[in-house]
Chains A and B, each alone.
Chain A
Amino acid sequence: MRMIEDELLKLRFKAGSRDALQRIYEKYRDTLLTLAMALLNDAATAEDVVHDVFVSFAQSAIRFRLHGSLRAYLATCVVNRVRDRMRARKHQGTRLDAEMPLESNLAPPDRRILSDEPSRLVARALARLPDEQREVIALHLNGQLRLREIARLQHVPLTTVRGRYRHGIDRLRSILNGRL
């Protein structure tokens, strides 16, 4: 049912339906946000990433040609944007928020993202993994991509992806040991 719905959504979106775009947004917003948070553990950047993915998607209606899974496509877009952000962050050495003036301290709390404590704890633990392990785990478990698809995305053999996944899970177990 989900696949059929996605196929219809893709067709309607390509035909220029704004309702379809809205439905896709509503259907995948929190999934992509969770994936972005699993990869970044940073609400502001996660919001930016999800925003950029959907904006770019909205702009692509005319040339949109997707034969595969919509979910996998959007998840891949998130990963690519996250990689861009991480590269930029490494170069800049500071986040935009860090440059905010003192007056921002007067602002009310950040209400970007709603979540529970276990989710935040796991996201913090994921943040401590090496990038490639975190990416495999988040894409597989949160983005629901198959390891084979992740191997294609990461341009590495399937065995490497399996290794990254296994090592990542082991490391998470050690980080989270006794905390949940």
Chain B
Amino acid sequence: MKPAEKIERLVKHISFKASPEMDERLRAGIVRAGNLCQPMGLVPDRENIRRRIMRISMAKIAAAALIGTGVVAAAAIGVKYKYHFLKEDERGRQFVVSEDGRRGWVFSEKTASTPDKAIEKAQELDRVLQQGQKEWVGVREIEVNGQLDSRWLAYRYTRDGQTTTQGEYDPNAGPRTLVGERLDEARSLWYKVLEGSAGVSTSDGHQRFITAEGEEIPAYERVVQGRTFSFDKIQFVLSDGTEVAWSMGVPKND
């Protein structure tokens, strides 16, 4: 085969496929356009603006969902957000996103059963984040091949009985090389080990975790920024051979 033909074949065979998430977004846009087209002829530009907001926000909403229902991925103090209802998923969870696409919330059916309630709840929690009492409630540390890669600090905010939790990376800890798909893979492996493990009480009254394979999850205490935390450390190897240690720490009650 001639070199030029080889290049032609390479280009011809490149293949990009829409992920399920992208497919969902594309279908939603087309359905909306198709529905609106029949009676109106044209879709207002606002639809496009809204879709762009959705695209940016979906990832952040998914991040929030990973942390837990009613938990925001991050906060920008002093900013007042106006929210739009985004969608209700098959589990009845309500998704809302700020107009500028900078913040998203997801609420369980129990917390907010309608779009209006979800928007109201998001605004309430914004106030909690901006004016509430801040409490440091956890640390997540990730080591990659034995080196600290990132440290995530979780804070709980409370105001008038309302509570929410947000996290932020410690800028002075680790190069944060585990990102994107590899971080996602690590997270799912961590969940998998955690789901298969069981808590047991030891004779000295401590709670220990045993994996499905019968191994004890290593626990240790360490001081982070002047405060002692109790960590559980789960180790696994990513598909590319990277060794990851994922530690979750809660403040030790002295």
| A-contact 0/1 string along B10-33, CB 8 Å cutoff | 111111111111110111011011
Interface residue tally for chain B (C-beta within 8 Å): 59
Q: Are B8 and A59 in contact (CB under 8 A)?
A: no
Which of B10, B16, B37 is the one whose CB lies under 8 Å from A33? Answer: B16
Please give the distance in Å from A180's CB to the nearest CB on chain B: 6
- Stretch of A1-9, A80-88, A103-111 lying at the B interface: A103-111
A161 at the interface (CB under 8 A from B): no
With A29-B26, A119-B15, A173-B4 as contacts: A21 and B59 at CB distance below 8 Å: no
Interface pair A33/B14, CB less than 8 Å apart: no
Q: How far is the CA of A44 from the CA of B21 in the complex (A)?
A: 12
Query: In the docked arrangement, what's the CA distance between A102 and B171, Å?
Result: 12
A100 vs B227: C-alpha distance in the bound complex, in angstroms?
A: 33
Q: Main SS of the interface on chain A?
A: helix
Residue of A nearest to B23 (CB): A29
Picked from A25, A59, A169, A173, the residue with its CB within 8 Å of the CB of B41 is: A59
Contact of B15 among A34, A96, A102 (CB under 8 A): A34
Task: Verify A169–B8 contact, CB threshold 8 A.
Answer: yes
Are A48's CB and B52's CB within 8 A? yes
Interface 0/1 of B153-170, CB less than 8 Å to A: 000000000000001010
**Nearest chain A residue, comparing its CB with the CB of B100:** A101
Asked if A115 lies at the interface with its beta carbon under 8 angstroms from chain B, I say yes
Q: Contact: A55 with B33, CB < 8 Å? A: yes
- Describe B's contact surface by its main secondary structure: helix
Q: Which residue of A lies closest to B62 (CB)?
A: A108
Interface flags, A64-104, vs B, CB<8A=1, else 0: 00000000000000000000000000000000110011111
Out of B32, B76, B183, name the residue touching A109 (CB < 8 Å): B183
Q: Which residue of A lies closest to B101 (CB)?
A: A100
Taking the nearest CB of chain A, how far is it from the CB of B185, in angstroms? 9
Q: Number of contact residues on A: which range applies?
A: 35 or more
Nearest opposing residue in chain A for B102, CB measure: A101
Contact status B14-A21, CB under 8 Å: no
Instruction: Provide the residues of chain A in CB contact with B30, threshold 8 Å.
Output: 21, 25, 51, 54-55, 58
Query: At the interface, yes or no: A16 with Cβ under 8 Å from chain B?
Result: yes
Instruction: List 17 A-B residue pairs with CB atoms under 8 Å apart, sorted by A's residue number.
Output: A30-B15, A30-B17, A33-B17, A33-B18, A37-B16, A47-B26, A48-B55, A54-B26, A54-B29, A55-B32, A59-B41, A103-B102, A108-B187, A109-B182, A112-B21, A169-B7, A173-B7
The residues of A with any CB-CB pair to B shorter than 8 Å are 16, 18, 21, 25, 29-30, 33-34, 37-38, 44, 46-48, 50-52, 54-56, 58-59, 61-62, 96-97, 100-116, 118-119, 122-123, 126, 137-138, 141-142, 169-170, 172-173, 176, 180
